[in-house]
Amino acid sequence: MRKYLMFDFYLLFYIIILSLTGILFAYSSNIHIVKLQTAMHNLYIRQIIYFLTGILLMLGISIINYKKIAEHAYILYLISIVILIATLIIGKKVNNAKRWISFGFVSLQTSEFVKIFMIIVIGNYLDKHQEKIKQLKYLLLLFSLVMIPVFLIFMQPDLGTAFVFIPITLVMLFIGGVNIKYFSGILLMGVIAVIIPLLLTYNARITKDETPLLYILSNKNYLYFLISFLFISALIIFLINLSMRNLFLNNVAFFCFIICLGFVAALLIQNILKPYQIERMLSFIDPELDKIDMGYNVTQSKITIGSGGLYGKGLFKGTQGQLGFLPARNTDFIFSVIGEELGFLGSTAVIFIYFLFLARLIKIAKEVKDYLGGIIVSGIITMFVIQIFINIGMTIGLAPITGLPLPFITYGGSTMWTSMIAVGIVLNIESRKYVHKKLPG
C-alpha cells in the first residue's frame, strides 16, 4: 500500500511557488482596477479559485491508475474531436478566433485539454504497437490521428497550440523507438513545409530579391512541376527497386517522396495560413520591421523587461504594465510584468524554479519502469518545455508570438487545470514505478 501513497513534495513545492507567483501578478497587472470590481470579476480571485480546484484535479488524477486511463484513450480521442468541433460551431469569438466555450464566469480553451488527451492517445498507440511502429504504415496512421485535432485547432485559428503537437509527437516517437529513417523524413518534411512560406514572405516583405531559387519557389507552376517530378521519380525508383531490393535506391525513393510531401505541405500552409500569421512568425526575427503592427507587442515587452533593470521597480510599482502600454499583461506577457517589477534577479529566480521543476520531471522519467509511463511523461515534459521556452522567449524577442501560456503563472482556468492534470499524471506514473515492470524493447 505504501507504494501508492508516495508523493513527490518537490514537484508540489515548485508548482505552489509558480502558481502563487501567477496569482500575485494577476493582482499586480490589474491593480489599478481591482478596487472598482466585484470579487468574482477580480482576476486574482479567479486565479486563486483556479489554483485550488487545480490542486484537487491533480490529486484526483494522481490516484487513478494511468494504465486504466490509457485503456480509454480512444474515448479521449473522440472527446477531443467533439469538443474541438463544438468550439468551432458554438465557441466564443474573441479577436476573430474561436478558441473558448463559455460556462458562466468560466471560459474553457478546449485545445488546452486536447493537448493532455492527445499525449495519452499517442502514448497508448505507441504502447500497443511497440514493434509495428517501425513500419511506415503504422507511423502514417498515427500521423493521421494527430493531424485531425491539429487541423481543427488550426482552424480556430490557434497556430501556437497546433504547433505544440509537432515536437510532442516527435519526442514521443523518438523515445518510443521509431525507425530513425522515418523520423528523419518527418523532420525534413516539416522543415521544408515551414521554411518555404517564411522565406517567401520575408523576401516579399523585406529583401525583395529575385534569385532563381526564390523565383521558382514563389511561382506555383514551377512548384507544381517540381512536386510532379519528385513524385514520379520516387515512384519509378520504387518500382524499379521492387525486384532489386537495393537499400540505397529505397532510401532515394523515400526521401524524394518526403521532399515532395514537404513542398505540398508548404503550398497548403501558404494557402491556408493568413498573412498576419506568417508575419507574426517573422516578427521575432526582427521586431523593428514593423513596430506599429506585428512587432509592437514584442517591442513593448522588451521595453517593459528592460525598464526593470537588475532589481526591478518594485512589486506593484510597474509603469509599462500598469499604464496599459503592454498588451495581454496578465496572459501572454505576464513574464514581462515580472521582469519589470522584480528585475533581472526576480525573473531569473522564476526561470530557476522552472529549471528545478523540469529537472524533477526528467528525473522521474528516467526512473519509470514501463514503456507506456515513460512515453507519457516524455510527452508531458516536452509540452512544458515548449510552452516555457516559447512564452518567455517571445517576451524577449527570441520566439514568435504564439499565445502559448506560461504554465502555472499565466492567468486562466484552462491553462492552470491542464498543467495541474499533467502533473497529476506524472505523480500517478511515479507512484507506480515499482508496480509496473518495464516491458521488453
- Ranges 84-93, 166-175, 270-279: which has the least confidence: 270-279
How sure is the predictor about 324, in pLDDT bands with cuts at 50, 70 and 90?
A: low
What mean pLDDT do residues 111-140 have? 89
Asked if pLDDT for residue 283 goes beyond 70, the answer is no
Longest dimension (CA), the chain: 79
In a 3-state reduction of DSSP, which class is residue 333? coil
133-137, 362-366, 403-407: which is most confident: 362-366
pLDDT at 79: 94
Confidence band for 434, pLDDT divided at 50, 70 and 90:
low
For the cut 80, the answer to whether the pLDDT of residue 323 exceeds it is: no
Q: Give the mean model confidence (pLDDT) for residues 132-137.
A: 82
DSSP 8-state class, residue 401: -
pLDDT value of position 314: 82
pLDDT value of position 327:
73
Amino acid present at 38: T
Residue 40 has pLDDT above 60, yes or no: no
What values do phi and psi take at 390, rounded to 5? -65, -45
Give the number of other Cβ atoms within 10 Å of residue 105's Cβ.
10
Percent of the chain with pLDDT over 70: 85
Mean pLDDT of all residues in 26-41: 61
Share of residues in the chain with pLDDT > 90 (%): 32
User: Residue 2 has what pLDDT?
Assistant: 46
Quick one: pLDDT at residue 440? 42
Residues in Cβ contact with 63 at an 8 Å cutoff, skipping those fewer than 6 apart: 428
Task: Tell me the pLDDT tens digit for each residue of 367-380.
Answer: 888 889 999 999 99
pLDDT, residue 422, reads 95
User: DSSP for 118-132?
Assistant: HHHHHHHHHHHTTTG
- Grid cell for residue 124: 497508448
Mean pLDDT on 231-238: 91
Q: What is the pLDDT of residue 403?
A: 75
Distance, in Å, from the CA atom of 371 to the CA atom of 356, rounded to the nearest integer, reads 25
Confidence of residue 356 (pLDDT cuts 50, 70, 90): very high
Query: What pLDDT is attached to residue 4?
Result: 47
Contact 177, 251 (CB under 8 A): no
pLDDT value of position 427: 93
Is residue 215 over pLDDT 50? Answer: yes
CA quadruple 1, 421, 146, 220: dihedral sign: negative
Query: Residue 195: what pLDDT?
Result: 84
What is the rounded average pLDDT for all residues in the chain?
83
Q: Span 326-341, mean pLDDT?
A: 82
**Least trusted range by pLDDT, from 157-161, 204-208, 250-254:** 204-208
Angle value at C-alpha 343, between 339 and 348, nearest 5 degrees:
75
Per-residue model confidence (pLDDT) at position 290: 54
98 pLDDT tier (thresholds 50, 70, 90)? confident
Which of 102-111, 186-195, 312-321, 422-431 is modeled with the greatest confidence? 422-431
CA distances from 49 to 35, 66, 98, 423 (A): 19, 26, 25, 18
Res 331 pLDDT > 60: yes
Report, as an integer, the average pLDDT of 243-260.
87
